[in-house]
Homo-oligomer: A and B are copies of this chain.
Amino acid sequence: MAASNKKPSIPKGTRDFGPVEMARRNYIFDTIRNVYALYGFQQIETPAMENLSTLMGKYGEEGDKLLFKILNSGDFIKGAEVPGGAQAGLLSTVELNRLAAQLCEKGLRYDLTVPFARYVVQHRDELQMPFKRYQVQPVWRADRPQKGRYREFYQFDGDVVGSDSLLNEVELMQIVDEVFSRFGVRVCIKINNRKILTGIAEVIGAADKIVDITVAIDKLDKIGLDNVNAELKEDGLSDEQIAQLQPIIALEGTNDEKLDTIANVLASSEVGLKGVEELRFILDTLKALQLRNELQLDLTLARGLNYYTGAIFEVKALDVQIGSITGGGRYDNLTGIFGMPGLSGVGISFGIDRIFDVLNQLDAYPEAALSTTQLLFVNFGSAEAAYSLPALAQCRAAGISCEIYPDAAKMKKQMQYANAKQVPFVAIAGETEMAEGKFTLKNMQTGEQQLLTTAEVIAAVQS
């Protein structure tokens, strides 16, 4: 092993998670996991490496470039050739890309959706439909790293496939509501429907303009109605089309009122009315279930427009300035890319890194979730340590996380350790305590000290 004196580092865009961050992240993961379990979702995991044939062509041309490719191992050499005509010396981009294609058969997971689709097709004979799965694993993207954008990050996806029922949408909204309620984070759940957007485009006869339209409408609060209309005109809409859009742009009122307005505008569009009906069912059903967070119909929601075919969701934190922290929608054809058509589903993805940022900003972690060691036994030497060990065993049997400082170090050092780890209680056993068969229990917050038996120590720490 060659020694190096250069301080080691990690690849840019990747992160180490230390004990405090991990405790926080585990709190987030466990909370979401527990809620999914309450709704009968089951976890799966897929390999970090997928065949490039599984990944390529699924994320567009840009996406292909962002795949991390893995060099074939062992006999990767066999059959690889320098592309025709290359000479010794610098290779051209085209030549190297062709060479890379020969050298790599595997790539790192880019998201959880394509591996999930691959999983469903590969295991179709074992799966019980509808299949409710969640999956929480890292994904990798060769993006240029920047603030808040990483090359390795976790995704946390939940999907129900093999059922067209809108009850699945209802359930996912309940899950979102429950998760953020447990986090103590106030959110607004925004909801839209792709069919409504299609209907709008249909009614005004501008199928190719729907993205422009949602982008323009989205600016209403910032730039005002006149400027929105001007922008729509720039986008190539006629005055008549813009006039037709006015009730949609100025959409106001409760969700019910909005739906009525939209239904009016879309009276001639079958698909548009279908979208209204779907949305009405979801909103009405959820109204009866009394969610704790607000649900808001928002026509400017156009995420994943090429992918989603029905409901579209997005969750915004109310008390922190940050983009969408969760999103999803219904899709019609998850597995068609792998030759198994017609499997529809609906899913959501929790944005772990942003939720982490939100909880950090709000300091919303419950103390119990972050505390590790509850009780540290001070170590004065081998006799005292031997005296303490059975008490440690009893504390642990009672479910108390505890440790003994392993070395008979100076008291100051041991207390410093307790402080750094934010241990709330310290147990001390010297000659006096040992003679009485007791411990002095120090409350690190109040400074209060009590001479207690092990059973009393357990009771005091647990209370």
Contacts and interface: CB of A to CB of B under 8 A. Distances in A.
Contact of A160 (B81, B167, B406): B406
Contact of A68 (B18, B70, B93, B406): B70
A318 B171 CA distance: 46
Contact of A167 (B49, B68, B167, B385): B385
A45 to B, nearest CB: 4
A51 B391 CA distance: 45
Interface in A241-277: none
Contacts of A90: 79-81
Interface string A417-443: 100110000000000000000000000
A332 B208 CA distance: 67
A66 B70 CA distance: 13
A463 interface: no
A447 interface: no
A68 B85 CA distance: 30
Interface of A: prevailing SS: mixed
Interface centre among A48, A337, A406 (most CB of B within 10 A): A406
A195 interface: no
A334 to B, nearest CB: 11
Interface string A345-384: 0000000000000000000000000001100100100000
Nearest to A54: B8
A9 to B, nearest CB: 7
26 contacts: A3-B337, A3-B338, A4-B337, A5-B339, A7-B122, A8-B53, A10-B47, A11-B51, A15-B47, A16-B122, A16-B123, A22-B43, A38-B399, A38-B400, A48-B48, A49-B68, A49-B152, A71-B103, A71-B104, A74-B142, A77-B93, A77-B97, A86-B88, A167-B379, A171-B406, A174-B393
